């Protein structure tokens, strides 16, 4: 609890000092090849999710239905020495990068460019003129994008959620990916539950494969119970790790990966020293049956 109070105090002081700038508008920074854009995030319409899936086989790039890999990691804004080396190593040959607390410096942009990924950053705030938030990157361009943010009740600094969707190589399925950074500093779970309710509303409209991954800030039983309820309603399974090095707060894992309509091939949690969160590496393939 002492660490929690200290973090809240530091966050509040930085905001008051003007180091942290929270935009009025909900913005998304995107990179498609050599083209970079900043767009105002529209309300997340579920209409595209209700339309029949049109086969894309042979027309556009797609994630391999027989096996695609992802990295899920809260990078702590790249504050610790050596993060570039770890990012380069961990992101190598990954089809999806699901990253929280990205600090969009020139160094970070350069590393993303090395991987030739399309990427989208759901902007939480700017810190010392660099944008930060959750970022999802892929070798495949997303066919759907939705993002929303919720301010911490105590610090008033936003947490963001980014939802993207990608075609699979079987041509008849698409996988939806939710990159989550959930509200942390609350005295009750009401705001936490409301943020997850927004997420559930969008995800419930998607009937196919689904991945929900990120920093859930599930540092007590009550928060974990809220997540379990949402996971059950969406028919999601939790990825388990035979060697569990996931970061814990008050004895609870805070980083999770949930999935549906996919088969888990491998799951690793990796010990590092360049963030206060240990990264997760998972590989999935499309299930043949229901």
Domain count, the chain: 1
Q: Reply yes or no on whether the pLDDT at 188 is more than 50.
A: yes
Dihedral Cα 101, 105, 111, 112, nearest 10 deg: 70
- What is the spatial distance between Cα 258 and Cα 212, in angstroms, rounded to a whole number? 5
Tokens standing for residue 11: 């966050």
Q: Report the DSSP pairing between strands 27-32 and 35-40.
A: antiparallel
Residue 22: per-residue pLDDT: 86
Any idea what the CATH number is for the domain that residue 222 is in?
3.60.10.10
**pLDDT for 211-269, tens place per residue?**
999 999 999 999 999 999 999 999 999 999 999 999 999 999 999 999 999 999 999 99
Range of the domain at 275: 2-286
- Span 12-39, pLDDT tens digits: 444 444 578 888 788 999 999 889 999 8
With residues binned 3-state (H G I as helix, E B as strand, rest as coil), the percentages for the chain, rounded to 5, are 25, 40, 40
In the chain, % of residues over pLDDT 70: 88
Percent of the chain with pLDDT over 90: 72
Question: In whole angstroms, what is the distance from residue 209 CA to residue 286 CA?
Answer: 8
Q: What is residue 59's predicted lDDT score, i.e. its pLDDT?
A: 54
Q: What does the CA dihedral 224, 229, 233, 239 come to, rounded to 10 degrees?
A: 30
CA-based radius of gyration for the chain: 18
**Residues forming a β-bridge with 121:** 29, 135
Distance between CA atoms of residues 68 and 31, nearest Å: 21
Specify the pTM. Answer: 0.90
Beta-sheet strands, E only, within 128-261: 130-138, 144-151, 158-167, 174-181, 210-215, 237-238, 248-249, 252-253, 255-260
Question: Is the pLDDT confidence value at 127 over 70?
Answer: yes
Kindly report, residue by residue over 251-266, the tens digit of the pLDDT.
999 999 999 999 999 9
Q: At what angle do helices 106-114 and 83-91 cross, to 10 degrees?
A: 20
> How confident is the model at residue 17, as a pLDDT?
44
Decide: 142 and 122 in contact? Cβ < 8 Å.
no
């Amino acid at each position: 609890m002492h660490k929690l109070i200290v973090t809240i105090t530091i966050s509040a002081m930085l905001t008051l000092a003007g180091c942290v700038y929270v935009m009025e508008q909900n913005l998304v920074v995107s990179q498609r090849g050599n083209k970079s854009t900043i767009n105002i995030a529209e309300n997340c319409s579920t209409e595209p999710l209700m339309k029949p899936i049109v086969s894309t086989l042979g027309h556009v790039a797609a994630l391999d239905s027989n096996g695609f890999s992802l990295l899920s990691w809260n990078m702590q804004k790249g504050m610790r020495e050596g993060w570039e080396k770890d990012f380069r190593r961990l992101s190598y040959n990954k089809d999806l990068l699901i990253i929280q607390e990205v600090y969009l410096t020139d160094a970070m942009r350069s590393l993303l460019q090395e991987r030739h990924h399309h990427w989208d950053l759901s902007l939480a705030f700017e810190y010392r003129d660099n944008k930060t938030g959750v970022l999802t990157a892929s070798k495949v361009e997303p066919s759907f994008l939705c993002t929303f943010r919720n301010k911490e009740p105590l610090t008033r600094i936003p947490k963001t959620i980014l939802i993207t969707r990608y075609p699979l190589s079987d041509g008849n399925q698409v996988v939806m990916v939710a990159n989550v950074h959930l509200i942390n500093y609350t005295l009750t779970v009401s705001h936490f539950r409301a943020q997850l309710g927004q997420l559930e509303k969008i995800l419930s409209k998607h009937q196919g494969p689904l991945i929900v991954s990120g920093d859930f800030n599930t540092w007590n039983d009550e928060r974990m119970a809220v997540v379990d309820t949402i996971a059950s309603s969406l028919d999601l399974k939790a990825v388990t790790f035979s060697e569990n090095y996931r970061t814990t707060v008050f004895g609870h894992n805070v980083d999770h990966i949930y999935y549906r309509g996919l088969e888990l091939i491998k799951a690793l949690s990796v010990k590092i020293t360049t963030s206060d969160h240990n990264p997760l590496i998972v590989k999935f393939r499309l299930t043949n049956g229901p």
